[in-house]
Structure 1
Amino acid sequence: MKNIAIDRMCLILFAVLCGGTLFAQSTCYENPEQVRKLSQYLSREYTSSITSVNAGVDAITIKGSAIGGENISLCEVTPYEDIVGTRVFKNRIPVNAGTFSKTLDRYIVKDGFRYDRTLSRWLIVKNNGDTDSIISHARYAGNIEAIQKTVAEKPSSKKGIGDCQATETMLRDLDDLRITSATVNIRITTMMYSQSGTDRLEHSYGGQKYYFDKRQLQTLDESLIACRDRGIIVAAIILINRKADSVDPVIGELFQHPDFTDAGRYSMPDMTTPESINAYAAALDFFAQRYCRTDKKYGRIHHWIMHNEVDSGREWTNMGDGKPVEVYMDTYVKSMRMCHNIVRRYDRYSQVMASHTHAWAVADNKDTYASLDMLNILNSYCRAEGDFKWGLAFHCYPHDLREPKTWLDTIALYNHSTPIITYKNLEVLDHWIKLPVNKYQGKDKRTLWLSENGTNSPTYSDEDLAEQAAGFAWGWTKIAALDGIDAHQWHNWADHEEEFGLRIGLRKYPKDDYVRKPVWYAYQAAGTENQDKVFQQYLPVIGIDSWNIIQPVE
C-alpha cells in the first residue's frame, strides 16, 4: 500500500497541464554511465544472437549464431555478475563463427556452491585483447523441463481476498463471499535460519543447508490448505524483511540489499554475491517444492508476486535512495527471472507477477517511479533476453486512499498518459494489458490481478459506510465488464489499527467484533443474482441513473 501521508494532486495536475511528466523517472543519478550502458544494451540491435536456451533435468542446451570472425566466445553470466559493467567475462566457451549448439551439465560447482545454470544468462562476446565486446543480447533459459506434471488452474470468478489467513471468521467469509482467489504473504527472513534448532525444518540447496520455522510453516499450510479445499487460486507475495527484523542475523545479512536504507519497510533481495544468490534461490526452491506438489499436501501456490509496489520501491522494496529506474529494474528483473526459473522446475504453469501501485504514467513523487516506465523496461528485457510468463499484480486504490468516492478521481483519465489508474478508469489498464506489445510473445494476454485494493470508510457513519460500498460497486461494475482483468483481491479483509488510520476492511475493527459493513454485503452480492438488487441503492450515492459506466480509451 502506497504511503498516503502527502497528497500530491496539485503537483501532478501541474505536470499534466504543462504537457509533461513531473516525476517520470528518478532524478538522482548515482551512476550516469551505468544508466547509459543499460539503456544502450537493451535498445541495441546485435548481429549475433542466442536463439534458444533449453533446460532438461540434467543438461542445458544453448543455441546461437555468431558473426564477427575470430576470438568469439559463449559466456555464462550469473545473477551476481553485471553484464554491462564487465570488461572480461570469466565463464567462457570458445565458439566458431556461424551457428552453434552447446549442451552442458545443468548443475556444476561454482563459487563454492552446486549451481543451477538455469539461473544464468548466456551471451556472445568477442575478445579484443584486454577487453570483451558484447555482440549479442544475453538470454535466459526459456524452456525448463519440469520434474512433475501439474494441472493448470484459474479462478472460477473474479472475486478474491488479500492476505488470506485460516481464522474462524475469515474461513467462514471465504465460503459466504464465494471467494475464488487469494493472496498470502511469505516473509522469508522471518522464518528462515542458517542453523538447525528446535522446530526447524531442514532444506538443502546448492550444497548448503538452511532451516525454516515449522510453526510459521504450519500457519501458512493451514491458510493454503483452506484455499485448496475450496478451489481457491493463490498468489504468494514474496517479501524480504529488513535485516533488523530477521530472525537470524546471518540470513538477514545475506538477504538485505547492500544499499538498503531505513526508509524501506522491506528490502530488495541482495543479488550481488554467490552466498546471497544461493540463500535466496534456496528459499524460493523450498517454497516451490513444498507448495507446488502434485498432491497439494500443503496447499498450492499458483503465482508468485515479486515483492511489493516496486514503483514505490524506496518504501516497499528498498535498494537505496535515488536509484535510476534503469538500475532498479535491472535488479528487479533478475529477481523475477530467478523465481520464474526455479518454480518452473516444479510447476510449468506457475507465473511470477510484478507488483505496482496506481501511479501509472506519472510517478507519485520524486522518490518513486512511474509504473508505466517500469513495465516498458520489463518489456524491453523480454524482447532482448527472451520472453517469460510474467503477470501484473496491480493496486487500483482510489487516488486518495482515505476517499471512497473513486468516481471523483480527477486525474484518473481515460488515456494511456493518465497519471493514475484507479477503480475509476480501469478501462485503461484493461486496454493496455491486451495490446500486442504487452502480450507474452505478442500473442497471449498476461495474467492481470488487482491484487490489493479496496475503498475506505473514513468513519463508521452511515454516509461514509454507504460511500465505501458505492465506491466498490463502481469498481466491480467495471471489473466484471473488462475481460482483461482476471481477478480482484480485497485488502484489507477487516479494519486494522495499524493500517495508516484507514478503515478499508469489509468488516469493522476486531475491537468492534468484526461487524460486517455494508461493503461486505455488496462484495457478497457481486457477481451473483443479487448484484442488481444490492447495488441499486448506491446509484443515487454516486449520482448516476444506471451502471452503464464503461468509457472508451482514447
Structure 2
Amino acid sequence: MMDHYTSNIDCHTQNENGTLKELFRVNGRGLELMGCIKVLIIFFFVVCLALLSGAETIPLQISTNGANDVALKQTAPDGYEITTTDSDPFVHTAPLPQPLTSKNELILSFEYITPAAIDGLQLFLVPPCDEKHSLQATGLQATQTWTSRSLDLQDILQEATQDVTSLRLDFGNQPGRVIQIRSLQLRMPNEAELAAKKQQQLHREQQQQVENRLRNYLTRTFPCQINRVKITERQTILEGTLERHAKDLFLVEIPLSAQVSELKDFSFSQPIPLNGKRQFSLSLDRFYQHEGRTWDRLLSRWAVVQKVGGNFELRSPARCADEVTSQWHPKEEKPRNKKGIGGLWWNRPISDLDDLNISSATVNISLNGFMRTSNGAECLAFDFSGRTWYADTHYLEHLDRTLLEAAKRHIVVSAIILLNSSPSGWGKLAAHPDADPAGIYAMPNVSSEEGLQAYAAALNFLAHRYSDPTGNHGRIHHWIMHNEINAAWDWTNAGEKTALQYMELYYKSMRTADLIAHQYDPHAKVFISLAQFWASAPGKHYYAGKELLEDLLQFSHAEGDFNWGIAFHPYPSDLFNPRTWEDKDTTDGFDSPKITPRNLEVLDHWVQQRQTFYLGKHPRSIQLTEQGFNSRDYSAKSLADQAAAMAYTWKKVEALKSIEAFDYHNWVDNRHEGGLHIGLRKFDDDKNDPLGRKPIWFTYQSLGTNGVRSVNKSR
C-alpha cells in the first residue's frame, strides 16, 4: 500500500429507483422484452432501439450523487468540469437508459482536456462496484485541446453476474487536478477497434504458447545438470553431471535477461570434454572483453546443450551462481526484538526510534531519485560493466543521513527498491517497456541486456556504498524487491501478464539483487513483497500471493535455490476497520482468500512446509514490513479500537517464530492515504495536536516489555 495508497472504498451511492430495471436486456442483436407488454414498455423499447440501431450511441450523464473527493460542475448539456479535491476522486454516471449485461459489446468513449496528467483511470460496473468488476487503464495525458479517449468494456461485462445500471469513473489519486469532459457515451466498437481487438487476441494466443513452453521448461526432468556455480574474484567455476553415453555436449552461457525456453542460439558455447565420465568441472574467466567493454559473468546462467544437426537442444536447466565470494564480511546483524517501523527517513520524529525501542526499519529507495545517465552539477560518477553512470549526491546525502540514524542504534534496515517509468534518461532504460503508466511503480527491464545493466548498475552502487565496513554512509542489511507484487498493476507494473510470466520477470529482479548484494555482504537477503491477497486475487490485474510463491519456488528449484524471504503486508481485511478479529475473507487453511492479523498463522504454517525450505533444510524468513490499523477519527472509541488491534496482533506475532520483524506503517497519519488514519501519531498539520501521540503509540511502546498497556476492546 505504502504512502501513495489508493483506497478501494465501496461505492457511496448506487441507483435505487430501478425505473427501467428488468424491462429489457441489450445483446447487440436486438432487445429482449421482459415482463408484461404494456404501452409504456413499448415506448421505452422504441427509444432504446433508436439509440442503439440508429445513432449506435447511448449518451451518458454524470450524476451529482455519489461523487467522492471531487468538485463537479456541469458546463454544457454534455459537458462537465471535474476538480479533484483529495486522493480518491470518482464520479458516477446517472442511471443508464437500459441495464448492461454480460452479452454487451460496448465502448465507453469521451473527449477531455486536462492541464496536468491524471496518473490512472479506473472504471467500475455498478453493481457490484468491486475490483473484480473493474477496468484499470492508462491515465489521461496532459492536453490543452479536446482529446478522445475510449475504454473497451467487453471483457469486464463478460464477468458481470447481474445487470449493470450505472458506471463509476475513478481519476487517479492526486488532488488539484482539473478535467473537462464532454460527449461521454456508450457505443458499438468501430472497425479500427475491432481490428485492434483481433490483433490483441492473436498476441494473447502467442503469449499463451510462450507460457506453455516456460511451464514445460520448469517442470521437465532433464538428463543433465549443472550442480554448482561459484563466482570468485576472478573466476567462474562450474560443476555438473552428464547423461550416460551422450555425445556433442556443450556448455553454454545464458544471460539472465534471456528467456531460456525461447533460446535457439547462444553467444558463448564450449565443448564439454567427456572422457567417459559423467561428472565434469570447468573454470572460466569471470570478466571478459566484448565490443570494447568489460563484462562480468556474475549475472550469467549456465546450461548443458546437445548439438543435433545444426541446432542446439537444451539438456539441462539453466543454473545461476550458487555462491559468490564476498569482497567484505560485515558482521551479521539481526533485530534484537520484533518491533520495527516502516518508512524511516531522517526528517521523521527520530526520537521515536529510542522511545519505542525500534530494532528494524524499512527505507523506501527510489532508484530514479539518484540514477542519472549524464553528468550534472551534483553528481558522482561511477563505472559499472564498462559504462559510466552518475548518482545524484543531493539524494544520497538524505539517504546517508537516514541510514546513519539507523546504524547508530543498530537498527536492521531493509531497503524497499522502487523505480518508475520515464520517457527519457535512466528510467527509460531501466523500467520494463510493457509497464503501463497507470502503475505507480514499474517492474525493472530485466528482459533486455541494456535494461538489466542499467538496473544492475543502480543496485551495485547501493550495495557497494551501504555494505562498506567503514560504515561511513550507514548500512542496508536486506533488500525488499519492489512493492506488493500481487497488486502488480498498481505497485510493480509490467503490463498485461499472466502470473507465471510476471513471476519470471520478478524472479530475475530478485536474482539480480541477490547476486549483486552477496558480492559485498554474505548475510544480505532478498525478500518478495506481498499484499494480503493469498489464495485468490480480487481483480483482473491482481495475483494470488500463494500462486506467486509457488511459481517462485519452481524457478528456484529449476535454476538453483537461493535464500529469499517473504515481506508480507497483513492489513485488516477492511482497511478502515481496525477490529481485525472481525475480519471476513479469512480462514485457517491455505485456501484462505486473505491473510490478515486474524489468521496470521496460515503464513507461518506455509513456510513450515519442508517443500518450501531453502535447500530443503532452512525455513524461509518472514518480515511483516507494512501494516497498520485505522482510527476512523480521533474519538476515544476509534483510538481505543486502533490500539486494541495492535495489542491483539502483537500476541500472535510474538508466538510465531518464523516472523523476524513487524514494521508498523504508518508512522504518522498521512492525508494521501485515501482517508485512512493509521499512524502512531496524528497528522503533522492537525489543528489541535500536530504529530500528537495516539494511544496506539503508547501501546506500541509497551510491547515487548513486562506488560502491554491495557486497552478496552470487545470481541
Both structures adopt the same fold (TM-score exceeding 0.5): yes
Change (3 A) 1:30 1:305: farther
Alpha-carbon distance between aligned partners in 2 of 1:131 and 1:317, rounded to the nearest angstrom? 37
Change (3 A) 1:428 1:111: farther
| 1:5 aligned residue | 8
| Superposed displacement of residue 10, structure 1 | 8.7
Alpha-carbon distance between aligned partners in 2 of 1:83 and 1:174, rounded to the nearest angstrom? 46
| Superposed displacement of residue 84, structure 1 | 0.6
Q: 1:519 aligned to 2:696?
A: yes
Cα deviation, 1:34-59, whole Å, max 9, x if unaligned, reads 11111111111111000100111110
CA contact (8 A) 2:447 2:505 kept: no
Question: Which of 227, 252, 268 is the aligned partner of 2:406?
Answer: 227
CA contact (8 A) 1:351 1:389 kept: yes
Question: Which of 380, 388, 392 is the aligned partner of 1:201?
Answer: 380
Cα deviation, 1:94-152, whole Å, max 9, x if unaligned, reads 11443221100111134654222120111111122343221111111101100122211
CA contact (8 A) 1:242 1:265 kept: no
Alpha-carbon distance between aligned partners in 2 of 1:129 and 1:92, rounded to the nearest angstrom? 16
Change (3 A) 1:111 1:437: farther
**Residue identity matched to 1:82:** Q
Alpha-carbon distance between aligned partners in 1 of 2:346 and 2:706, rounded to the nearest angstrom? 28
**Residue identity matched to 2:663:** Q
Alpha-carbon distance between aligned partners in 2 of 1:9 and 1:448, rounded to the nearest angstrom? 34
| 2:662 aligned residue | 488
CA contact (8 A) 1:29 1:324 kept: no
Instruction: Report the TM-score when normalising by structure 2.
Output: 0.70
CA contact (8 A) 2:432 2:443 kept: yes
CA contact (8 A) 1:66 1:96 kept: no
| 1:213 aligned residue | 392
Residues 300-379 of structure 1: matches in 2 within 5 Å?
Answer: 300-321=475-496, 323-379=497-553
> In terms of mean alpha carbon deviation, does 451-460 or 59-68 score higher?
59-68
Alpha-carbon distance between aligned partners in 2 of 1:142 and 1:457, rounded to the nearest angstrom? 47
Cα deviation, 1:363-399, whole Å, max 9, x if unaligned, reads 1212111010010111111111111111110000011
Alpha-carbon distance between aligned partners in 2 of 1:111 and 1:353, rounded to the nearest angstrom? 35
Question: Which of 216, 220, 240 is the aligned partner of 2:419?
Answer: 240
**Residue identity matched to 1:252:** G
Alpha-carbon distance between aligned partners in 2 of 1:190 and 1:530, rounded to the nearest angstrom? 43
CA contact (8 A) 1:221 1:299 kept: yes
Larger Rg: 2
| 1:109 aligned residue | 289
Q: 1:382 aligned to 2:385?
A: no
| 1:450 aligned residue | 624
| 2:606 aligned residue | 432
| 2:214 aligned residue | 38
Structure 1: tracts of 5 or more residues without a match: 13-21, 23-27, 544-554
| 2:238 aligned residue | 62
| Superposed displacement of residue 461, structure 1 | 1.6
Alpha-carbon distance between aligned partners in 2 of 1:111 and 1:86, rounded to the nearest angstrom? 22
Change (3 A) 1:9 1:473: farther
| 1:542 aligned residue | 714
- For the residue of structure 2 that corresponds to 1:101, the secondary structure is strand
| 1:25 aligned residue | none
Instruction: Report the TM-score when normalising by structure 1.
Output: 0.91
| 2:226 aligned residue | 50
Question: Which of 175, 195, 208 is the aligned partner of 2:354?
Answer: 175
- For the residue of structure 2 that corresponds to 1:510, the secondary structure is coil
Alpha-carbon distance between aligned partners in 1 of 2:701 and 2:7, rounded to the nearest angstrom? 28
> In terms of mean alpha carbon deviation, does 385-394 or 123-132 score higher?
123-132
| Higher percent of residues as helix | 1
CA contact (8 A) 1:470 1:542 kept: no
| 2:260 aligned residue | 83
CA contact (8 A) 1:243 1:256 kept: yes
> In terms of mean alpha carbon deviation, does 312-321 or 61-70 score higher?
61-70
CA contact (8 A) 1:60 1:104 kept: yes
| Superposed displacement of residue 277, structure 1 | 1.7
- For the residue of structure 2 that corresponds to 1:542, the secondary structure is coil
**Residue identity matched to 2:264:** R
Alpha-carbon distance between aligned partners in 2 of 1:3 and 1:434, rounded to the nearest angstrom? 33
| 2:251 aligned residue | 74
Cα deviation, 1:12-32, whole Å, max 9, x if unaligned, reads 9xxxxxxxxx9xxxxx76611
| 1:548 aligned residue | none
Structure 2: tracts of 5 or more residues without a match: 11-127, 133-158, 160-203
**Residue identity matched to 2:401:** E
Cα deviation, 1:402-438, whole Å, max 9, x if unaligned, reads 1111111122111111110001111111111222111
| 1:474 aligned residue | 648
Q: Percent identity?
A: 39
Alpha-carbon distance between aligned partners in 1 of 2:653 and 2:375, rounded to the nearest angstrom? 47
Aligned residues: 519
CA contact (8 A) 1:431 1:484 kept: no
Residues 18-37 of structure 1: matches in 2 within 5 Å?
Answer: 31-37=207-213
